[in-house]
Amino acid sequence: MNSIDRREFLGMAALAGIGFMTAGTTVEAKALDLTEKTVAELAASMKKGEMTSEAITNWYLARIKAIDPKINSMIEVNPDALAIARQSDRERRSKNFKGPLLGIPFVIKDNIDTADKMKTTAGSLALVDAPTPAKDAFIVKRLREAGAVLLGKTNLSEWANFRDNDSSSGWSGRGQQTRNPYILDRNPCGSSSGTGSAIAANLAAIGIGTETDGSIVCPASICGLVGLKPTVGLVSRSGIIPIAASQDTAGPMTRSVADAAVMLNVIDFIDPADSAMKGKREKVDYTNFLIADGLKGAKIGVARDFWGRNAVVDAVTNAALEAMKKAGAVLIDVKFPNLRKFGDAEFLVLQYEFKDGLEKYLRGRGSKYKTLDDLIKFNNDNAAREMQYFKQAIFESSAKKGPLTDKEYLDAVETCRKYSRDEGIDQVMNENKLDAIVGPSNAPTWMIDLVNGDCGSGYVGSSSLAAVAGYPNITVPAGFARELPIGISFFGRAFSEGTLIKIAYSFEQATKARRTPKFLPTAA
């Protein structure tokens, strides 16, 4: 059997639910179902010799082949994934490597650089022929060093959903429309839509998304996942196609809080190239915060500004509040009177920083398109492929912005900080001596609509306060509206990830609200 035939055989075997033990010369078959398996469970099975990374990777690759045509979450599969998995198996047998993610397959959003055979395009056809990045993004380097197997890249809302006001979240010129794995005609939310759908559908063990405002929290909650948006400055942004330096960050998208904590341990590492990471911080082991009774005595502010907007969301989140109280949390109603005072300022900041950051990235990448104006022209020249559903109004307005020394920009930055931090999260938490604040993550997701774009009717989300402040936010599954997931968010002060993980983990253990999408089989 030649190598190509063997790969095809392994893929078909994995599709049939067969795993292969490849240690030595023995090939031992056994039933394999990795649905909902955690990092800890996969690592324990490999350590015991019950399965190999090659078998695990094969299972996910076969599942992608069988299921992803319905979801369209993967923009590209890594042609080297199996070779990386085999290398991790050799390292495990040599006992010279003890990486916390050794042999664990993961996916990343296609706005994150990889110096390999895959492309990095932000979903745009403009970057399909751009030079391969000279090096991996810093967080990809960290994940590889931890032993993880890069399975592939996920689709996204093109340019991280910062091209036009009438876009359809989850659509890109390169990848087309990603679907929600719970109900296929529903939107997966953006812009980390592909990662959300892929992890929800068990197409990889763990994933990475990026967020400027809601792009981890929204797809994670709408796809029934845990999504952790770290404090800006906790995780490197080097090698990630930017929107806004003041709000951008990458973070874990997983099926459990424990997996998010393990991933955060790996990617929380000082990158000297990221100016937001200046200064030393004490290294934190986030798995120490996986405490089942972490809600006991926790003082949590209930952000009532987000209640009363959607009866279905209120029902799910009120039940979640009761579960928190039963677990020993102290809940205090709080209000944010300045909640609507920074929206216009935020958009201005994003426009200025998008132009500045993206043009720096394009020049560094060596793309033949160096400016926003170049990209605008590309889209106009390729309108049949890039603009058949929506245009580029945000591109055009951002291209007109000046340098980051403009008074308009500096005033907008100050407005954002004042109302989201000083007279927002910090003030409410200090006055009430809170450990965290809680709010609904999402309402039931909307129908995919490539004619009118995203429909926000009746939508509820609480991501903006933490996003504009640059503060951490974690969403956890809380329940369902029929078959559509509803999440709940815990957010708080800068660098309070440990506290938020403790509260979120305790809530997760008390409620266990996550469930696999019904239409998907339990095994590939």
- The torsion angles phi and psi of 290, rounded to 5 degrees, stand at -85, 75
28 by DSSP, 3-state: which? strand
Pairing of strands 149-154, 436-440: unpaired
What's the Cα-to-Cα distance from 203 to each of 60, 256, 371, rounded to whole Å?
Answer: 5, 15, 36
109 is catalytic: yes
Residue 415 to residue 462: CA distance in whole angstroms? 19
Q: Are 229 and 487 in contact (CB under 8 A)?
A: no
Taking 3-state DSSP, the helix, strand and coil percentages for the chain, each rounded to the nearest 5, stand at 40, 15, 45
Active-site pick, 37, 109, 141, 502: 109
Residues recorded for the chain: 524
Q: Are 173 and 158 in contact (CB under 8 A)?
A: yes
506 is catalytic: no
For residue 456, give both structure tokens: 């926000």
Q: Are 9 and 1 in contact (CB under 8 A)?
A: yes
Contacts of 392 (CB under 8 A, 6+ apart): 163, 164, 376, 379
Residue 247 to residue 463: CA distance in whole angstroms? 12
Phi-psi domain of 14 (left: phi exceeds 0; alpha: psi -120 through 50; beta: other): alpha
Contacts of 56 (CB under 8 A, 6+ apart): 19, 34, 42, 46, 85, 103, 104, 105, 205
Residue 199 to residue 190: CA distance in whole angstroms? 14
Active-site pick, 191, 193, 197, 221: 191
Residue 12 to residue 366: CA distance in whole angstroms? 40
Contacts of 233 (CB under 8 A, 6+ apart): 274, 276, 277, 470, 494
Active-site pick, 169, 215, 398, 496: 215
141 is catalytic: no
Nearest to 490 by CA among 501, 479, 506, 481: 501
Question: Active-site residue numbers?
Answer: 109, 191, 215
